[in-house]
């Protein structure tokens, strides 16, 4: 069996109940897993629930375990309805005791390996294979690494092969396999609605600019890179946006710029913690960034840039913009080329400097026919190869192959989990 851990908890697989109630944006980064795997009731796919985790626990239930479990069950029930997952066809398990050496569990590092939860102890004692997705692993990286090593029989997955990059290699020296490359997939609302000739030849710049504050969970990334910025190129665009208006239409915004979140500190008294939590609940929603339609913006411009994270992970916007028919400007990097994308053919590469970005924008503004060719090639690549149904089928097939190896008694150190999204070099 293949189990997806706590799909109700984060907003990655579908509509999160907490986000729906508080009118927050649901990122749904891996929406196709919820729609085309979990909701399709595949016979060998199930859901594994850890009852201590729910979207409301951090606010008022985490100190009352029994109440916390009741809240989790209620949230799960509503989530199943909202996301059209039939619990009578998709087995839901509440204990790791059912797991065998032939099972595979897919779990996010985010909020599972960044802090001690019962799941860590339980899974470390089971013989199943664990696939850990590394979304947001730059927070508490050392702790994520230590907890992942403790799990044993682990494969990592991410939107790039992290093994190729120095930050990952520094904090995960024990991991000697490739990271399973699981690309972002655009949601159906990202579609081409305008012809290329109707588009503005400026470059659209999108993305949230995250500035880190020095605390325990950010120490690793800040010490390694010597900066407080997760997206240095976004900062350069944001800080110079006024002087580049004739070339770049910037919608880069500071994370929670309209209402910065408040830290909930351990040394605070109960009332102070409650106030900070309530403030974040009501105000910190990234309202500014999600106040416009990204799909409309992508259809307005002929080219766009959504600068990558400093720890070598792409932004979700690169597939969304290409699906809308806009030409992407990004790095000449394995996070793209491993998928089969080629600079100058499917997207435009630059040297990760502001001047380099301006130079390529100027070039393609003077050569719109060349820009249109790249935009068309990128559009075809994403819509044909990186669409929801195909991505779900590819990922599920790879998971099934991994489960089959494990069920056949293959020793953990000999298991193979290769990404079928990766294209061999020609």
Instruction: Read off the pLDDT of residues 138-168 as tens digits, 9 standing for 90 and up.
Output: 999 999 999 999 888 789 999 999 999 999 9
Give SS3 for 356: helix
Average per-residue pLDDT for the chain? 89
CA distance 80 to 8: 8
Surface-to-core class of residue 288, CB atoms within 10 Å of its CB (0-12 exposed, 13-18 middle, 19+ buried): middle
CA distance 195 to 109: 41
**Lowest model confidence (mean pLDDT) among 37-46, 212-221, 264-273:** 264-273
User: Nearest to residue 139, comparing CAs of 310, 289, 285?
Assistant: 310
User: Nearest to residue 177, comparing CAs of 197, 158, 196, 161?
Assistant: 161
Q: pLDDT tens across 352-403, in order?
A: 999 999 999 999 999 999 999 999 999 999 999 999 999 999 999 999 999 9
- Please list the residues that pair with 327 across neighbouring strands: 303
Residues 16 and 55 sit within 8 Å (Cβ to Cβ): yes
For residue 291, what pLDDT is reported? 47
**What is the crossing angle of helices 354-366 and 368-385, to 10°?**
110
Q: pLDDT tens across 60-100, in order?
A: 556 677 888 898 999 999 999 999 999 999 999 998 988 99
Instruction: For 90-117, give one letter per residue: b (16+ CB within 10 A) or e.
Output: bbeeeebeebeebbbbbbbbbbbbbeeb
Between 114 and 358, residue with greater pLDDT: 358
Residues 270 and 240 sit within 8 Å (Cβ to Cβ): no
- Please list the residues that pair with 181 across neighbouring strands: 158
CA distance 177 to 46: 26
CA distance 386 to 409: 33
CA distance 342 to 331: 11
Q: pTM for the full model?
A: 0.89
Q: Where are the alpha helices (DSSP H) in 158-315?
A: 166-171, 219-225, 232-239, 270-283, 294-300
Q: At 162, give phi and psi (nearest 5°).
A: -60, -25
**What is the crossing angle of helices 232-239 and 354-366, to 10°?**
70
Residue 298 CA, chain-centre distance (Å), reads 20
For residue 21, what pLDDT is reported? 82
Residues 137 and 164 sit within 8 Å (Cβ to Cβ): no
Does the structure show a pLDDT above 70 at 272? Answer: no
């Amino acid at each position: 069996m293949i189990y997806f851990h706590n799909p109700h908890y984060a907003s990655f697989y579908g509509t999160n109940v907490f986000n729906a109630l508080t009118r927050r944006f649901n990122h749904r980064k891996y929406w196709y897993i919820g729609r085309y795997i979990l909701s399709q009731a595949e016979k060998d796919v199930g859901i594994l629930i850890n009852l201590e985790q729910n979207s409301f626990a951090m606010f008022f239930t985490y100190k009352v375990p029994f109440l916390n479990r009741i809240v989790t069950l209620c949230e799960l029930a509503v989530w199943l309805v909202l996301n059209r997952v039939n619990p009578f066809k998709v087995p839901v398990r509440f204990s790791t005791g059912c797991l065998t050496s032939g099972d595979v569990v897919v779990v996010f590092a985010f909020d599972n390996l960044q802090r001690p939860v019962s799941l860590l102890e339980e899974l470390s004692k089971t013989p199943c294979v664990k696939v850990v997705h590394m979304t947001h692993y730059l927070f508490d990286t050392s702790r994520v690494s230590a907890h992942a090593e403790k799990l044993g029989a682990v494969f990592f997955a991410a939107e790039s092969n992290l093994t190729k990059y120095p930050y990952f290699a520094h904090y995960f020296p024990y991991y000697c396999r490739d990271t399973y490359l699981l690309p972002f997939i655009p949601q159906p609302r990202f579609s081409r609605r305008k012809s290329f000739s109707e588009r503005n030849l400026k470059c659209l710049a999108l993305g949230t600019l995250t500035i880190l504050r020095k605390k325990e969970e950010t120490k690793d990334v800040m010490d390694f890179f010597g900066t407080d910025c997760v997206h240095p190129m976004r900062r350069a665009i944001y800080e110079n946006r006024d002087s580049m208006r004739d070339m770049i239409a910037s919608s880069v915004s500071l994370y929670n710029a309209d209402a910065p979140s408040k830290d909930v500190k351990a040394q605070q008294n109960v009332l102070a913690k409650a106030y900070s939590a309530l403030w974040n609940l009501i105000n910190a929603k990234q309202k500014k960034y999600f106040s416009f339609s990204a799909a409309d913006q992508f259809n307005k411009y002929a080219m766009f840039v959504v600068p990558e994270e400093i720890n070598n992970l792409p932004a979700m916007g690169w597939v969304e913009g290409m699906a809308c028919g806009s030409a992407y400007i990004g790095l000449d990097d394995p996070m793209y080329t491993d998928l089969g994308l080629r600079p100058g053919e499917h997207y435009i590469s630059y040297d990760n400097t502001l001047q380099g970005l301006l130079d390529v924008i100027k070039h393609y503004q003077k050569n719109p026919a060349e820009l249109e060719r790249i935009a068309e090639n990128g559009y075809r690549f994403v819509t044909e190869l990186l669409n929801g149904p195909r991505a779900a089928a590819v990922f599920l097939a790879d998971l099934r192959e991994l489960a089959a190896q494990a069920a056949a008694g293959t020793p953990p150190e000999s298991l193979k989990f290769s990404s079928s999204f990766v294209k061999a070099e020609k």
